[in-house]
Chain A
């Protein structure tokens, strides 16, 4: 296990380098730069500003100097947020995203897994259909419908919550629900599928034949293997939840990471784009590693090897 972890950490380095490199060159390749605005900047001034940001250097020099700074942990200055560094922007947005993501993850798991198990255990009965339908609702209603709908009902009609913002503790409820319910839908469906795979396997029959109670069969024996697809999904899934969602942060006006991820591209704020991409890459790799370890542990046969 330790060897696996060390190897994967070593593998992360080329992943990060490649993500930074590819993003860097993609940002250079798209038309328009950070300084392009509707009103034309006189050429002589554009030259001055470009010189300040080093944009007048040949591409390979810009790349090397960016990677050099990166080695020292400096993600560079942001263009759009002119007096902030990318490190500062990520540091400010991260706690918000983690808080929202953590709550959403709880919603997703607490709703998704029980629904999935119930549906699988009572396959093709009304319980299954009800649970599956509930799960599907989270998927059928995209966040840009679910979010405003929750706001209309709970914030504007019943007035229990504020429509947007991140000022009061209860401002967390609606965005966490919106984000969590989408993932809950996925998790429920995947849990159901995974459980059905396992429930028909021989070791479950054996356990049942030996007289184990149904509860014991489901939770002791079936759940382990049944959660495999969910765990595979959760690696990138959790990374997605924790880094926030552009749509939800926009609907609820939340100062999280998700917005930087998208708007920095629209602003051609290359340093911020690369910074968020790197952060996301590190998170994906780490969580996929965690998922792989969890998988190995859930699957005794794989663990034995």
Chain B
């Protein structure tokens, strides 16, 4: 077996140690995971860290999503090219004319991986679990568009029938919303909405508490294209094709192996030595090398995220918005993305990423050092004189450090302001930021779903993720109004107005919009660029090209 150590290993080890190190040139190539995977349709995917859990109502991260996507399927699922909602466990749905009631019709004969039929009741039971306060689902706010969900979650009622989720029969599910939510079907593609098999969870503990062992291999019951086969912490997670999946006939991969590799450098080397088909990241210094030497392996996809600096607007020197604007205008974003991040990131002159489902902010800031100096002078600090020195807070990372060093120099050069760098370990940094004990702090925000509101609502006055001390009544009003509307054009106009206020007030300084930069072997097919970096596995397959193996063989033959 590949992952097991056996008694022979010691002997082979001694042999390879000798053969490998003494007869450096004479020893053969080791078997690679990719070579074997290509033969057996096993995809090896790099994943930045171990999943915290595989319970969709508890997890929070991206690596968790990538695994759960193989194990569970919701009413709708995603189109592999542009992620628009397509039928999943539901074969069709009706939307009421006012846009508030969705009626889903489940496919006939769909089953859980243990053979139980998937029914509308399973979905209602799952929603109830996710909304039960004792479970502490951290993404429960994703449900708050549903009637009564917020009250139930916050314990204002114990009666789940007051929540707008109802099984009309075994195969019909009706969900009632608070108002029209045009992106509701996209919202369903967030894992907090995905169904779980309650009887299984109840077998391994209290379904309404954490630390339930139902997510272990052998226990896990899902309804997705794959089933959980193995989960070794820090080593590998293996999922295997699920023969009971309704569309199993079109699933070409036999297995997917997720390799948690935290270091980007290690991951890149693993990729090069044939241990991975696709990586999670690429070290910054390697991006230009791949771009030059092996562009066919480098993938740069647009991604729904913004990298920015928060400004603590409660600090006296930052109360004046002209100071904040001056800081923003003195940063040369183009130089930063071209020379430091290098991964095709877009210089950010507004907050919401461009073309977020058809929305691009019309207002924008400029790179204008002269204008920045004037604004700073108007605010009472000509030439930066008398401006109190302050810190840029960032969490420990080589990349954050480089960007902060560059911005430090830009502010010093353009504005004459002295800035220090403050590097804190991740959790300390979070604590400092939440206590608003910082001056300027680096941050990032990734959209939870495809809609501009996931960005703009972050800076509502009462948002726990605001953390800048900035509040604007008109901004809040515009966004609240937009959340009640169903018409896309009208909503987007309100977002335009809100973002114009936001950019004028400048409580955060946008720096760049993310891209997903990763390495992908050419034999991986059906792997499309999508804005949320989702790649539905039923559409992915491996097509090893004979010429590719020939090329490596001839390269090997050239060696002495």
User: Of A11-19, A36-44, A64-72, A285-293, which stretch is located at the interface?
Assistant: A36-44
Contact of A31 among B135, B215, B272, B432 (CB under 8 A): B432
Is B426 located at the chain interface by the 8 A CB criterion? Answer: yes
Closest to B430 in A: A36
Most buried by B among A38, A49, A156: A38
A258, chain B: closest CB distance, angstroms: 10
Given the complex of chains A and B, what is the CA–CA distance between A152 and B273 in angstroms? 10
Q: Scan residues 67-98 of chain A and give those whose CB is less than 8 A from a CB of chain B.
A: 77, 80-84, 89, 92-93
Residues of the A chain whose Cβ atoms lie less than 8 Å from the Cβ of B274: 162
Residues of the B chain whose Cβ atoms lie less than 8 Å from the Cβ of A57: none
Contact of A48 among B30, B134, B427, B430 (CB under 8 A): B134
Is A158 located at the chain interface by the 8 A CB criterion? Answer: yes
Residues of the B chain whose Cβ atoms lie less than 8 Å from the Cβ of A42: 141, 464
Can you sample 18 A-B contacts with CB below 8 Å? A36-B431, A48-B135, A49-B210, A52-B210, A82-B58, A148-B269, A152-B269, A159-B30, A159-B273, A161-B16, A165-B259, A169-B10, A172-B13, A173-B16, A173-B20, A250-B266, A255-B234, A266-B426
Residues of the B chain whose Cβ atoms lie less than 8 Å from the Cβ of A156: 269, 272-273
Is B29 located at the chain interface by the 8 A CB criterion? Answer: yes
Is B519 located at the chain interface by the 8 A CB criterion? Answer: no
Residues of the A chain whose Cβ atoms lie less than 8 Å from the Cβ of B33: 165, 167
Check A169 against B140 for contact (C-beta < 8 Å).
Answer: no
B86, chain A: closest CB distance, angstroms: 28
Q: Scan residues 261-302 of chain B and give those whose CB is less than 8 A from a CB of chain A.
A: 261-263, 265-266, 269-270, 272-275
Closest to A48 in B: B136
Most buried by B among A156, A173, A252: A173
Closest to A144 in B: B265
Contact of A36 among B16, B260, B427 (CB under 8 A): B427
Residues of the A chain whose Cβ atoms lie less than 8 Å from the Cβ of B20: 154, 160-161, 170, 173
Residues of the B chain whose Cβ atoms lie less than 8 Å from the Cβ of A81: 50, 52, 233
What residues make up the interface of A, taking CB atoms closer than 8 Å to B? 30-33, 36-42, 44-46, 48-49, 52, 77, 80-84, 89, 92-93, 99, 103, 148, 151-152, 154-156, 158-170, 172-173, 177, 250-256, 259, 263, 266-268
Is B543 located at the chain interface by the 8 A CB criterion? Answer: no
Is B409 located at the chain interface by the 8 A CB criterion? Answer: no
Given contacts A52-B209, A169-B13, contact A84 B273 (CB under 8 A): no
A46, chain B: closest CB distance, angstroms: 8
Is B108 located at the chain interface by the 8 A CB criterion? Answer: no
What residues make up the interface of B, taking CB atoms closer than 8 Å to A? 2-3, 5, 8-10, 12-13, 16-17, 19-21, 24-25, 27-33, 50, 52-53, 55, 58, 60, 133-138, 140-141, 154-155, 209-213, 215-216, 232-235, 259-263, 265-266, 269-270, 272-275, 425-428, 430-432, 434, 444, 463-465, 556
Residues of the B chain whose Cβ atoms lie less than 8 Å from the Cβ of A89: 233
A100, chain B: closest CB distance, angstroms: 11
Contact of B30 among A37, A160, A250 (CB under 8 A): A160
Check B2 against A167 for contact (C-beta < 8 Å).
Answer: yes
Residues of the A chain whose Cβ atoms lie less than 8 Å from the Cβ of B427: 30-33, 36, 266-268
A110, chain B: closest CB distance, angstroms: 11
Given the complex of chains A and B, what is the CA–CA distance between A15 and B209 in angstroms? 36
Given contacts A164-B275, A250-B262, contact A80 B5 (CB under 8 A): no
Check B269 against A31 for contact (C-beta < 8 Å).
Answer: no
Residues of the A chain whose Cβ atoms lie less than 8 Å from the Cβ of B28: 160
Check A83 against B138 for contact (C-beta < 8 Å).
Answer: no
Given contacts A44-B154, A49-B136, A82-B211, contact A165 B262 (CB under 8 A): no
Given contacts A83-B213, A163-B272, A253-B266, contact A45 B138 (CB under 8 A): yes
Check B136 against A45 for contact (C-beta < 8 Å).
Answer: yes
By Cβ-Cβ distance, the 10 closest A-B pairs, closest first, are: A32-B427, A40-B464, A255-B234, A163-B273, A163-B269, A169-B9, A31-B431, A49-B136, A255-B235, A82-B53
Check A32 against B428 for contact (C-beta < 8 Å).
Answer: yes
Given contacts A99-B5, A154-B20, A164-B261, contact A92 B273 (CB under 8 A): no
Residues of the B chain whose Cβ atoms lie less than 8 Å from the Cβ of A38: 430, 444
Given the complex of chains A and B, what is the CA–CA distance between A259 and B261 in angstroms? 12
Given the complex of chains A and B, what is the CA–CA distance between A48 and B140 in angstroms? 13
B27, chain A: closest CB distance, angstroms: 5
A218, chain B: closest CB distance, angstroms: 27
Most buried by B among A32, A103, A166: A32
Most buried by A among B52, B140, B209, B260: B52
Residues of the B chain whose Cβ atoms lie less than 8 Å from the Cβ of A250: 262-263, 266
Residues of the A chain whose Cβ atoms lie less than 8 Å from the Cβ of B17: 173
Given contacts A52-B210, A158-B24, A268-B427, contact A165 B270 (CB under 8 A): yes
Given the complex of chains A and B, what is the CA–CA distance between A42 and B137 in angstroms? 10
Check B216 against A255 for contact (C-beta < 8 Å).
Answer: no
Check B31 against A168 for contact (C-beta < 8 Å).
Answer: yes
Check B27 against A160 for contact (C-beta < 8 Å).
Answer: yes
Given the complex of chains A and B, what is the CA–CA distance between A36 and B465 in angstroms? 12
Residues of the B chain whose Cβ atoms lie less than 8 Å from the Cβ of A251: 263, 265-266
Check A169 against B430 for contact (C-beta < 8 Å).
Answer: no
Residues of the A chain whose Cβ atoms lie less than 8 Å from the Cβ of B19: 160
Given the complex of chains A and B, what is the CA–CA distance between A84 and B52 in angstroms? 10
- A32-B426, A160-B24 are known contacts; what are 15 more A-B pairs with Cβ within 8 Å? A31-B428, A36-B430, A38-B430, A42-B141, A45-B140, A80-B52, A83-B215, A148-B265, A152-B269, A169-B13, A172-B9, A173-B16, A173-B20, A173-B21, A266-B427
Residues of the A chain whose Cβ atoms lie less than 8 Å from the Cβ of B266: 163-164, 250-253
Check B431 against A32 for contact (C-beta < 8 Å).
Answer: yes
Given the complex of chains A and B, what is the CA–CA distance between A42 and B153 in angstroms? 11
Given contacts A49-B136, A81-B233, A83-B212, contact A167 B53 (CB under 8 A): no
Residues of the B chain whose Cβ atoms lie less than 8 Å from the Cβ of A31: 427-428, 431-432
A32, chain B: closest CB distance, angstroms: 3
Residues of the A chain whose Cβ atoms lie less than 8 Å from the Cβ of B154: 44
Closest to A170 in B: B16
A220, chain B: closest CB distance, angstroms: 30
Given the complex of chains A and B, what is the CA–CA distance between A267 and B60 in angstroms? 14
Residues of the A chain whose Cβ atoms lie less than 8 Å from the Cβ of B465: 39-40
Check B232 against A173 for contact (C-beta < 8 Å).
Answer: no
Check A255 against B133 for contact (C-beta < 8 Å).
Answer: no
Check A169 against B8 for contact (C-beta < 8 Å).
Answer: yes
Given the complex of chains A and B, what is the CA–CA distance between A93 and B266 in angstroms? 20
A79, chain B: closest CB distance, angstroms: 9
Contact of A170 among B12, B55, B133 (CB under 8 A): B12
Closest to A252 in B: B266
